[in-house]
Amino acid sequence: MPAGMINMSVAEMSIRRGRPAGLMMAFGAAFVEFFQIFIAIKFASIINGSPTFDLVLNILATIIFLTLMVFYLFFAKPVKPGQGKNVPRYRTFFRGMAVSSINVLIFPYWIFISTYLNTNDLLNLSYTNIAIFALGGMAGGFALFSLYAFLADFIIKRSMHFAGYVNKVIGGLFLVLSVYQIYRMVTIVFSR
């Protein structure tokens, strides 16, 4: 999975405060994803294919990505590996929940997946089946976010020089994501 807002935040947390903090943040982000997946699948038939819904999500995503880009490029403190290791774990868990909560792009993804699975009779839309499916998505998200925490820890142990560029890399990633979201908004508006 490509680097995204949650993945990079988990990697940054792992660099700043160590792998346990990165893993706790990964768990917080995955916990929120359970509810996001459940809601997206349950309401897929209502909002599926709505150009207005797509446009609103793209506007929200663009605003979030631009805000994060400005923060990481101009205001974020330089990353010093291992700083703040004594921060309580519940704070990193809640930070993971917060980062995952502003990830609005998860909804179109799961709406598409659930619509595809439902039209091919691969997903029954009962509450129990959706909950089990969402648990699987949560477990997969946690595994992926954990991989980013482990990779960040691995990379930082190999190259302390890289730590000074973490904010710039993350800010650049959010710039690219912002440009992509603006492109999507333009295509949605002009396709009407």
State residue 28's pLDDT score. 96
- pLDDT interval class at 93 (50, 70, 90): very high
State residue 136's pLDDT score. 95
State residue 84's pLDDT score. 56
Instruction: Give per-residue pLDDT as tens, 54-69.
Output: 778 778 878 888 888 8
Can you give the three-state secondary structure of the chain, one letter per residue?
CCCCHHHHHHHHHHHHHCHHHHHHHHHHHHHHHHHHHHHHHHCHHHHCCCHHHHHHHHHHHHHHHHHHHHHHHHHCCCCCCCCCCCCCHHHHHHHHHHHHHCCCCHHHHHHHHHHHHHHCCCCCCCHHHHHHHHHHHHHHHHHHHHHHHHHHHHHHHHCHHHHHHHHHHHHHHHHHHHHHHHHHHHHHHHCC
Q: What's the rounded mean pLDDT across residues 11-36?
A: 91
Least confident of 75-84, 114-123, 139-148: 75-84
- pLDDT interval class at 192 (50, 70, 90): low
- For helices 19-42 and 5-17, give the axis angle rounded to 10 degrees: 160
- pLDDT interval class at 174 (50, 70, 90): confident
- pLDDT surpasses 80 at 117: yes
110, 136, 190 from 127: Cα distances, Å: 16, 14, 37
Residue 51 has which token pair? 């150009």
Residue 85 has which token pair? 């290791």
Q: What is the mean pLDDT of the chain?
A: 83
State residue 80's pLDDT score. 65
Q: What's the rounded mean pLDDT across residues 171-182?
A: 84
The Cα 139–Cα 33 span in angstroms is 9
State residue 87's pLDDT score. 67
Instruction: Give per-residue pLDDT as tens, 1-15.
Output: 556 788 888 988 888
- pLDDT surpasses 80 at 102: yes
State residue 105's pLDDT score. 78
Distance of CA 177 to the CA centre of its chain: 12
Alpha carbon distance, N-terminus to C-terminus of the chain: 31
Q: Which residue has the tokens 């010093």?
A: 80
- For helices 89-101 and 19-42, give the axis angle rounded to 10 degrees: 40
